Amino acid sequence: MLLISVPPEPGQEDLKLYHHPDPIKFPFADIEELNLEERLRGEFIHRVLYFIDGLDEKIEPELEQIIKRVNDELKTDYPLATMKKNLLEFLNHEEIKPYFRAMPGRVIRKEQDFSDPRGNLFRMDRVIFEEDQVSVIDYKTGTDKEAEKEYISQLKNYIRILKEIYPDKNVEGVIAYVDLKEITLLR
């Protein structure tokens, strides 16, 4: 224990500073740190997926370059082989693959902003425009589906916005769980 005593000047009180030798422990620091790491990993995966337009025979070397680029850009060091394997498994999953297939006439917008009638902006991860269909995909990382009700609510809002903008098209929404390699489809 450190105790400092400074003699007071005339007309001032005596001030004593106390320094405890043990650092203060905060009960949720580990959880917050874990959440921060999960968020950073999620941002990394979103950024990698941003650079993928469609799947073809060159996807493996392209994905490798994208992962390196995003690691450099975000100043992260996610393992290339592990990240590539996980993302290829996700992209090649039978339910996911159709949304990444290159097709004539298909237009893809990534990280696209749309606004609702009140002017609120919403950034949608991947929006696919086809002749009579619009599909909005929202990526989720991690292996926990606890917040799926909130995800569904968010996606329903996206669908509503897109239906207002494109009333002549069918609109569907997809929650794409990257780590779980599964989707939840809403129409």
Tens place of pLDDT per residue across the chain (187 aa) = 555 555 666 666 665 655 556 665 555 444 455 588 899 999 999 999 999 988 888 899 999 999 999 999 999 999 999 999 999 999 999 999 999 998 899 999 999 999 988 999 999 999 999 999 999 999 999 988 888 999 999 999 999 999 999 999 999 999 999 999 999 999 8
- pTM for the whole thing? 0.78
Residues 120, 130: contact at Cβ < 8 Å?
A: no
Q: Which amino acid type is present at position 59? A: I
pLDDT value of position 57:
84
pLDDT value of position 30:
46
Best CA proximity match to 147, nearest among 26, 42, 30: 42
pLDDT value of position 41:
95
Handedness of CA 73, 84, 44, 129 (dihedral sign): positive
pLDDT value of position 134:
97
pLDDT value of position 144:
82
pLDDT value of position 182:
94
